[in-house]
Amino acid sequence: MEFRSLLRSPTLVASILLAAPGLSAQNVDSLRASYVLPLPPDVEVVRTAIRTAPGSSSGTPTAYGAEFGDLFLGAGFQARTRYTKLVDGAVFGGFGLGNPRHIVGIEATLTSFTTVRSGFFRVMSFSFKVHRALPWNLAIAGGWEDAIHGQGTDGGSSKYGVLTSYIPTRENSESPFSSITLSAGIGNGRFQTEKAFYDGRRGVNAFGSIGVRVLSPVSLLADWTGQDLMLGASIIPFVRVPLFIAPAIADVTGRAGDGARFVLGIGMNFNFLHQ
């Protein structure tokens, strides 16, 4: 797999990046989850604090996403791709539409893959996610990663559905161990086992993530990508700067790939309605 096998996820997020075999926007999802947590009305009072919370996943989608007014951009890097010693990277950007608390939110992401070796915008894809906030701090989403992609992408496209639960564990969101975010979903494409993916089988597989906000600017993350385990963190280094850093180790257990790999995502988000 090329960088997309690592970067895929958005989001946010980005996705941040890292998953396998579709790194693309999932990385984005880590970012996206970091900067945009559209929550139901009963927790609206803490919405501002949560929007600047660190992310809740590294390499798999969550049900949170960008809404109208949100813009994001970022980049991902992996020290080597699966079964090679080649470094790789990707850049991405996107925006949100709609309102997930009233109707639905729509998130769109444009990703440029293999930027280290091929340059910018030589290999590109477009992904989107439709998401909805539910009562009891739940959210649900359906997405299509790399729905439109050019020649040179090696992971095809992946469809998925995911449910996310935000669980506050302390009254003050700035306290240590203040929340846990759980996500579980099913998808095809990159979410299948590595063997099923390479064999070209059609089917679905389960994925999920857990994010624990251990400090106000730091979450520890664990993702089951459908192929292997990914362990990482989401960090907001500056209080007043919407910058997110997500280091992680992919393929920790060795069930996929040829050994553990270091991946890194970095990104920023903006909201032209609130800033």
**Contact, 102 vs 7, CB < 8 A?**
no
Query: Domain range holding 217?
Result: 3-271
Amino acid 98 reads: G
* 3 state DSSP class of 13: coil
Task: List, as one string, the DSSP characters of 150-218.
Answer: -TT-SS--EEEEEEEEEEE-SSSTTSTT-EEEEEEEEESGGGS-HHHHHTT----EEEEEEEEEEETTE
Q: How many domains, in total, are found in the chain?
A: 1
pTM to 2 decimal places? 0.81
pLDDT digits (tens, 9 = 90+) for 220-266: 999 999 999 999 999 999 988 889 999 999 999 999 888 999 999 99
> What's the pLDDT score for residue 152?
57
The domain that contains 200 carries what CATH number?
2.40.160.40
> What's the pLDDT score for residue 183?
97
Residue 82 has pLDDT above 70, yes or no: yes
